[in-house]
Structure 1
Amino acid sequence: MGPVEPKVVLDAHRLLDQAVAIADDADVVAGSAERMRLYYLAALRTTGAALAVLESRRRGPRGVRNAWRRLDAQVGADDRLAVLSAFFAGHSGLRSRIETGLVADVPQDVVARVRVRLAELIEATESVLAAYEQGREPLVTTVSRRSA
């Protein structure tokens, strides 16, 4: 295990703080589509925080820009991340349709599931970051593989 890099810690904390702020803002947005879009954006920021740490230890796949694929490539670090990566990747198309105006309303149960999974992603990323700061490898843990 290499030394802890202060820049990695700062970048990861900055991205994670942004993600939490975006999620908090989304919690009070009235429109379900906009709330969904903001939750997805918060998930991307959270993933950026996880990748800042994980890719400092093990290089990501070359030429892959998709955050969910990059996170999935780091699966050995934490099984929760693989499950959550697949979940959010599955909602990428919906987020695109929201941003282009093709979807104006998202069912509340979908938005609620995304919020729950976002909280799980934030928690998993906090664990990865804490382990890194302590000079440990992230713990391997599991989460339900239900499609939620």
Structure 2
Amino acid sequence: VIAQEEIIRIVSKMTSVFSLAPGGLGPALALDLVRSGEITKISREVIRPYYRAKVKRAVAQLQEEMAGMPFAIHKPEGALFLWLWFEGLPITTRELYERLKNRGVLVVSGHYFFPGLDESWRHKDECIRVTYAQDDEVVEKGLSIIADEVRKAYG
């Protein structure tokens, strides 16, 4: 927000309150689904198969595009993202993040998820977290760019 300091302070407080207090419309719409148990059926029959198919596509693409590179995928366990491990990556995943960001791809560097651990442990700088929840075309393009940048890093 670009404004006078007093306005910025007020908008910041409003944003904090709105972020902490969920609106009533979403929960109200879901209440009947929860009470009837229909939400469980929808989760099992619609949502789970949808994301299972998305993760399978992403994993297959990564395995194809990363073939021959020291690369592994940590076991996908139902979240909306994958953990990719590039063993012996010659650059840090922070640097990889910057390269990817310059090409329009956002990932999360693994080092954020290992606070307080031994700084010399390379694994924390060899992993990234990527989502597969976006449109298939966006995910496919992003994964191709990741593969390209990782290939360049290994040289």
- Does 1 or 2 have the higher relative contact order (CA < 8 Å, sep 6+)? 1
Higher Cα Rg: structure 1 or 2?
A: 2
Of Structure 1 and Structure 2, the greater helix share is in 1
Q: TM-score, normalised by structure 2?
A: 0.31
Larger strand share, 1 or 2: 2
TM-score, length-scaled by structure 1: 0.32
